[in-house]
Amino acid sequence: MSVIETRGLTKIYRTYRKESGLRGSIKGLVRRKYDETRAADDVTFTIEEGELVGFLGPNGAGKTTVLKMLSGLLNPSSGEARVLGFVPWERSNDLKRQFSLVMGQKNALWWDLPAQESLELNRAIYGIDRDRFKKVVGGLSELLDVQDKMNVMVRELSLGERMKMELISALIHEPRVLFLDEPTIGLDVVSQKRVREFLRLYNSEHRIVTMLTSHYMQDIEELCDRVIIIDHGKIFFDGPLNSIIDRFSGYKIISLTFETPDARDFSPLGEVVQQTPVSVQLKVPRAKVTETCRRVLEGCAVIDINVQELPVEEVIRQLFGERDTLRDAAVASVAAGAIG
């Protein structure tokens, strides 16, 4: 049985649209007009035990809304979902003891208490045996390298230290499902790396299902073999991370290093990404890679050549840009037809 399963999950928000001025206020008392926003639209997927899945999309795509419905914080407008066999929005105590939600922009720990006391409070809430609690917290704090920060007030911790404590708090009851919403947002490079290493190790050892949203593509590339991409509430890709490039990228990057300085114009061969006196990077269509390499090798003294795929982050950015352009064109076409 799948650990997480959704079918047609939809969340619609209605927003009152008020006309300006006193007249608009009076009209609003008699007849109100509403705009509907589909934050999640027919979302369907399944996740098996042990999977660490990246949940990607631009701001406002519906990522957090889906996580909140799977956590039971929001009721859907329609559709179904099961987490560990439970319906999340029924808020069963049995389910609450088996999942955690970590939101990078919200604090779960008590601001004016030392981290250790906040964790003790969670221990009491979950009814965890004290010996078991000490063993789990000791292991997690060692993995995250925060043993010497346990008695520091939460408000006095750095952002990176606070996020590590949030992870410990989320895992002290050893959940089977972990939802992570931007867990590395605002962290420095060192803290991001530490958190990524911890999540990778914890997932492999405990076979915990993890759904991760992040705007840092390095988080996704280092942790997730599978990604789900959502845009305007709809899922349009669900599969291996590597196949995003195969499916959506029509270009490759050719990096060339020359034996002697070469200042010629390479733009006829492709888009010049970067150029120095002794090197150049060209972005060329996949179908023209072989021909481009042949032409450069015939005319230049090349001592090194390297052909790479576009970075995943660049592919996804282009993909969202293309989708927005197509959507705007479709809306303009419908509007023009209505006017005509």
Helix (H, G, I), strand (E, B) or coil at 273: strand
Q: Which of 128-137, 221-230, 242-251 has the lowest mean pLDDT?
A: 242-251
pLDDT for residue 336 is more than 60: no
pLDDT band at 14 (very low <50, low <70, confident <90, very high): confident
pLDDT value for 236: 85
pLDDT for residue 322 is more than 70: no
Which residues are registered as beta bridge partners of 78?
10
Domain ranges of the chain: 4-245, 250-309
Q: What is the pLDDT of residues 67-118, one digit of tens each?
A: 999 999 999 999 999 999 999 999 998 998 899 998 877 777 888 889 899 8
Asked: is 4-245 a CATH 3.40.50.300 domain? The reply is: yes
pLDDT for residue 340 is more than 90: no
> 59-93 burial, b for 16+ CB within 10 Å, e for fewer?
eebbbbbbbbbbbbebebbebebbbbebebbeebe
For residue 146, give the nearest of 214, 208, 195, 200 by alpha carbon. Answer: 195
Helix (H, G, I), strand (E, B) or coil at 60: coil
Q: Do the Cβ atoms of 258 and 301 come closer than 8 Å?
A: yes
Q: Do the Cβ atoms of 320 and 58 come closer than 8 Å?
A: yes
Q: Which of 121-125, 264-268, 324-328 has the lowest mean pLDDT?
A: 324-328
Share of the chain above pLDDT 70, in %: 92
Q: Which of 32-36, 241-245, 253-257, 321-325 has the lowest mean pLDDT?
A: 321-325
Taking residues 240-264, report their average pLDDT.
84
Q: Do the Cβ atoms of 242 and 311 come closer than 8 Å?
A: no
Distance CA 113, CA 120 (A): 11
Q: Can you identify the CATH homologous superfamily of domain 250-309? A: ACT-like. Chain A, domain 2 (3.30.70.1150)
Terminus-to-terminus CA distance in the chain, angstroms? 53
pLDDT band at 326 (very low <50, low <70, confident <90, very high): low
Q: What is the pLDDT of residues 205-239, one digit of tens each?
A: 899 999 998 878 888 888 898 999 988 889 988 99
What is the rounded average pLDDT for all residues in the chain? 85
Q: What is the pLDDT of residues 181-207, one digit of tens each?
A: 888 877 888 888 888 889 999 998 899
Q: What is the pLDDT of residues 165-186, one digit of tens each?
A: 989 999 999 999 999 988 887 7
Residue 84 DSSP one-character state: T
Distance CA 226, CA 36 (A): 31
DSSP 12-43: EEEEE-PPSHHHHHHHHHHS--EEEEEEEEEE
Residue 203 DSSP one-character state: H
pLDDT for residue 249 is more than 80: no
Taking residues 233-253, report their average pLDDT.
84
171 Cβ contact partners less than 8 Å away, ≥ 6 residues apart: 100, 136, 140, 178, 202
Q: What is the pLDDT of residues 257-307, one digit of tens each?
A: 998 888 888 889 898 988 998 999 999 998 899 999 998 888 888 899 998
Tokens of 197: 């290493």
Distance CA 219, CA 278 (A): 33
Taking residues 55-75, report their average pLDDT.
89
Q: Do the Cβ atoms of 52 and 224 come closer than 8 Å?
A: yes
Pairing of strands 226-231, 279-285: unpaired
Q: Do the Cβ atoms of 284 and 337 come closer than 8 Å?
A: no
Tokens of 132: 């078991």
> 300-320 burial, b for 16+ CB within 10 Å, e for fewer?
bebeeeebebbebebbbeebb
The more confident residue out of 31 and 55 is 55
For residue 192, give the nearest of 209, 217, 227 by alpha carbon. Answer: 217
Q: List C-alpha distances in Å: 102 to 22, 95, 213.
A: 44, 16, 11
pLDDT for residue 337 is more than 70: no
